[in-house]
Amino acid sequence: MRISFGGGGTDLPAYYERREGLVVSTSIGYGFYTLINAAPGDGVQILSADHRALSQSAGCRDLILDEGLQLPSTVVSFFNPRKNLVVFLASEVPAGSGLGFCGALTVSMIKGLSFWCGIDLEPDAAADIACQIQIDRLGMPVGRQDQYAAAFGGLNRIRFSSDGVSVQPLHLPAGTEEALQQNLMLFSTSVSRSASSILHALRQGILDADDGVLSRLGTMKELAAEIGDALEQGDLPLFGELLHRSWMEKQHLVEGITNPFLDQCYQTAREHGAGGGKISGAGGGGFLVLYCAKEHQDDVRAALSQLGLRRWPLTLDRQGVQLMQATPWQRLSGDSVPWDTVEKPEQQGLGVL
């Protein structure tokens, strides 16, 4: 999973195909898990702990595309692996959290299924395929930051343009990353939301060349660049202020990004010492991310608990998608190898985070 500190929205193709996009984000210590095993019989099963759903078919081309399993079913169909397969999916955060759930799901499955088919994908390839599936095949109104954040991991500047995506790790002074982690707070608002309506409206505003939308996105991109600079300079108080300024811009992009309850939570946090923050993801609910010096954190936590918010532990994580356990076989290489013609492993099992 990831937290985006600035630039969200500029990773939408409608924006970066005309103007370069920039996002600063970090992966965090919550993951999405894909467990793959061969199964007896002739069929494909996808089980989701998050959606409490099961999709089963005689062949992966016939997988049920219901609401809860449409995305994972499409990923399986993309690879068309051997039929006697069971795929179990589980996440450490709920869907609709704004922490990059769908991007992490897609990248995790792609890493696992490609390895199952005999190809150990590099992070950029896994992220690119994830974007193809989500944006091109399914028409999801999402950008490209979540897929690259999940694939690469770490604290990065991620640039988007019509020429492609580049991931540039931030280099922080000694002790800054540890201090940043200590001063970040994560709260569940207990409001699960779908980002689709917000992202549809944002994309339409970009396509319509809405001056207000384009101006705010331009400002947010500039603030994202300053956020990256502040982190590399070790200036965490400035980072907190820039985070606040970026949220002030974002909440006015389109309707639905915030609401009176979320505004009350954020204002309460600021009044009790938080330097800045934002609602994670597209907005509308999910998690509240705050930058707050340690001496104010007890006051902020107590005040937000009165509003029903619960603090979650938060750690930064430098690892991207990775194989956890698998039986190795000869690695195949070359983009020309079709997924459904590579030699499949016999009775293997693997897990992916």
H or E element at residue 224? helix 211-233
Per-residue model confidence (pLDDT) at position 277:
97
The token pair at 343 is 């030699």
H or E element at residue 156? strand 155-161
Q: In sequence order, what are the residues at sequence separation of 6 or more whose Cβ sits closer than 8 angstroms to the Cβ of residue 102?
A: 71, 95, 134, 140, 142, 146
- Domain residue extents for the chain: 2-169+317-352, 176-312
What is the pairing mode between strands 85-91 and 44-48? parallel
Per-residue model confidence (pLDDT) at position 19:
92
Per-residue model confidence (pLDDT) at position 52:
63
Per-residue model confidence (pLDDT) at position 106:
97
User: Length of the chain, please?
Assistant: 353
Per-residue model confidence (pLDDT) at position 350:
57
Per-residue model confidence (pLDDT) at position 1:
96
| 3-state SS class at 39 | coil
Looking at this protein, which amino acid is placed at residue 16? Y
Q: Flag whether the pTM goes above 0.85.
A: yes
H or E element at residue 90? strand 85-91
Print pLDDT tens along the chain (353 aa). 999 999 999 999 999 999 999 999 999 999 999 999 887 776 778 888 876 666 665 454 444 444 568 899 899 989 887 667 889 999 999 888 899 999 999 999 999 999 988 888 999 999 999 999 999 999 999 999 999 999 999 999 999 999 999 999 999 999 999 999 999 999 999 876 667 888 889 999 999 988 999 999 999 999 999 999 999 999 999 999 999 999 999 999 988 899 999 999 999 999 999 999 999 987 778 899 999 999 999 999 999 999 999 999 999 999 999 998 765 543 333 333 445 555 544 444 556 66
Domain 176-312 homologous superfamily, CATH: GHMP kinase, C-terminal domain (3.30.70.890)
Per-residue model confidence (pLDDT) at position 340:
54
Per-residue model confidence (pLDDT) at position 197:
84
H or E element at residue 165? strand 164-169
DSSP letter assigned to residue 350: E
Per-residue model confidence (pLDDT) at position 337:
41
Q: Which fold has domain 2-169+317-352?
A: Ribosomal Protein S5; domain 2 (3.30.230)
Decide: 54 and 64 in contact? Cβ < 8 Å: no
Q: Provide φ and ψ at 91, rounded to 5°.
A: -125, 150
DSSP letter assigned to residue 89: E
Angle at alpha carbon of residue 292, lines to 194 and 171, rounded to 5°:
85
